[in-house]
């Protein structure tokens, strides 16, 4: 579905409302096919974002896990390392990092 939507569950500190809203916006944009809706569709588009945000927050608040909370900085570094390995870096002039 949406490759850019990241998991928001089980982080310390928990995902802020802004991240949930951003994920909801991305989801609604993908689902509707609109990056920015027309004036005629703006109310429905914005209502959908609010409803998806509420549903996402309710889901995250109600899920239980026994796993240790993940650290945002560690996960960000892991993602950067995966991207560097996959796409190479400018320092290595396009060579893959092993």
Confidence of residue 21 (pLDDT cuts 50, 70, 90): very high
**pLDDT score at 96:** 52
Total-model pTM: 0.72
The 10s digit of each residue's pLDDT in 60-80 is 999 998 989 888 888 889 888
The 10s digit of each residue's pLDDT in 22-53 is 999 999 999 999 999 999 999 999 999 999 99
With contact defined as beta carbons under 8 Å apart, do 24 and 49 qualify? yes
The 10s digit of each residue's pLDDT in 74-98 is 888 988 898 899 888 655 455 555 4
């Amino acid at each position: 579905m949406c490759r850019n939507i990241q998991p928001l569950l089980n982080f310390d500190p928990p995902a802020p409302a802004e991240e949930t809203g951003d994920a909801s916006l991305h989801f609604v944009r993908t689902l509707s096919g609109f990056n920015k809706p027309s004036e005629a569709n703006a109310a429905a588009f914005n209502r959908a974002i609010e409803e998806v945000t509420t549903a996402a927050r309710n889901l995250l608040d109600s899920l239980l896990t026994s796993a240790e909370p993940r650290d945002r900085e560690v996960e960000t570094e892991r993602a950067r390392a995966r991207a560097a390995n996959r796409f190479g870096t400018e320092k290595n002039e396009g060579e893959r990092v092993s």
